[in-house]
Structure 1
């Protein structure tokens, strides 16, 4: 870990998943620019050398490992004097596979990082957050309320983060610890670099081209630049606290919709689920698949679904 000393009275933040090219990396730089003492983390310390060179503290952290989390807490406790003003749970993985093709071991891996890692971090660092009357920032996604086709496992994991955060916010209110959920839209990131192939015999083989295109969707549709996203997230985190009734319009927001397409999805949650369903069905070309199998049935050839 890099050796950087916190100044008296300086606020501190721990950010998970700060690999270069990702959201966490940009958030670390933005908090640092705002004068906050930043502790950036990633599984491998060497990927954080650029941040360390800028005067940012770095620590190795695997959010799926209890031992790694415990070691990280010990180092953060020492660095900050037992206080933590912000915890940003950003570490995550994407998982773009049709629901009927899912490998459950892969699903468990997704939940270990996206859900259980968030829970474990909040449990481990709650005492430091209470000491500072701090703020937890959980990075969720607009995938949680929307039918993001071929992303059922990822959507479910982010939906779990949303529900967990909603309860966590109430349970920590007596201790003056707050919770913000970032409903992230499409943002420039390395998270979509992995491209999957359909499993043999998949129901979606007739639209394999659309499946391949879908895997890059977050990087090709109204994608917000990572630095812009980070700037908005940090600006919200540093806003003053206002009464709960006013938080939708003033001060720090409990629910912060940010990134490409986030406003559109937010409106969909208000106007009716049918809008999101219809939009997703059309946008991802599922009508093409319905027509294909309709023709196969009519001709009485092709797959037997018994």
Structure 2
């Protein structure tokens, strides 16, 4: 079932049930937008198809998959796409000194190169509709999220890329919104569970690392549906002049999720605030104490 004449359309990546993409699909659908939901395995999207959404297979790390998806979306929408939501993502929690570069490359393929590839591939359809790109970033882009250096780097890249993309597409009437997402209930922390290698310098505080693995799901975590309702409301808001967008229209920057308000406020005070807070919030300051105790013990011996 395709869109009705005049009905707006949205393509969302990473719509597996339980995550942000799925919640966004359900909310856009509830607001009368024709949803094109995607996932690597379309079997998980069967209930969404039953609701009348279009469902397509898509792996944002594969050029052929993106090309095939682009062709199918063109058939569904008639060559126009009102919204592209780049949501597909991969978590990566590991100390910077313990990373495996092949693993890092996989995370960048999904979180960064996948976003770039989707924007490039669907630019023609977005230009035809004077549409809106929504790139799901994270507060991790501007905070030193301890044991998340790789994830922070990918989201920081998405933020910088989006800022420039916004100016490049402005002459064509295409807008770019960056979602600075805080802690939101999702399935992301349950995937790609990592462990510390036996020789890690952080074995001394292994319990802190293990707690950090699920931090986003246990600290001021916002309900996925609430997050989706706020984002979709902003996406569907009318256009306002630049200086008024953040309050009344579709903003360039969307801040929501746990810790988003305090992070936005802290961003005006300087990065030292984040350094102090995150150092203690995650508990890495305890490592200092452990190292001092070890040094004292060596002196005694």
Matched, 1:239 2:257: no
Counterpart pick for 1:214 among 195, 212, 236? 212
- Describe the superposition over 1:95-129 as per-residue Cα deviations: whole angstroms up to 9, x where unpaired: 00001101011110000000000000000000000
* 1:89 lines up with 2:86 in the alignment: yes
User: 1:236: Cα distance to partner?
Assistant: 0.6
TM-score by length of 2: 0.98
Distance in 2 separating the partners of 1:247 and 1:36: 22
State TM-score, norm by structure 1: 0.96
Which residue of 135, 140, 144 maps to 1:138?
135
- Alignment partner of 1:154: what SS? helix
2:166 counterpart residue number: 169
Structure 1 residue runs without a partner (length 5+)? 302-306
The yes-or-no answer on 1:298 pairing with 2:293 is no
Matched, 1:55 2:52: yes
C-alpha separation in 2, matches of 1:256 and 1:14: 19
Match of 1:46 in 2: 43
Could you tell me which of 272, 281, 284 is aligned with 1:283? 281
Indicate whether 1:64 and 2:61 are aligned.
Answer: yes
Q: Which residue of 2 aligns with 1:149?
A: 146
How far residue 248 of structure 1 moved from its aligned partner, in angstroms, is 2.5
Q: Does 1:259 align with 2:257?
A: yes
- 2:227 aligned partner: 229
Q: Distance in 2 between matches of 1:39 and 1:166?
A: 25
Q: More displaced, 278-287 or 110-119?
A: 278-287
Runs of 4+ in 1 over 6 A off after TM superposition: none
Aligned CA RMSD, in angstroms, stands at: 0.9
How big is the shift at 1:6?
A: 1.3
The structure with the largest helix share of the pair is 2
C-alpha distance in structure 2 between counterparts of 1:147 and 1:17, whole Å:
26
Q: Give the secondary structure class of the aligned counterpart of 1:13.
A: strand
The C-alpha deviation readout for 1:136-194, integer Å capped at 9, x for no partner, is 00000001000100000000000000000000000000000000000000000000003
CA distance in 1, matches of 2:56, 2:95: 36
Q: CA deviation at 1:299?
A: 2.5
The aligned counterpart of 2:156 is 159
Give the deviation of 1:53 after TM superposition.
Answer: 1.0
User: CA separation in 1, counterparts of 2:171 and 2:248?
Assistant: 22
SS in 1 for 2:268: helix
**Which of 28, 33, 36 is 2:33 aligned to?**
36
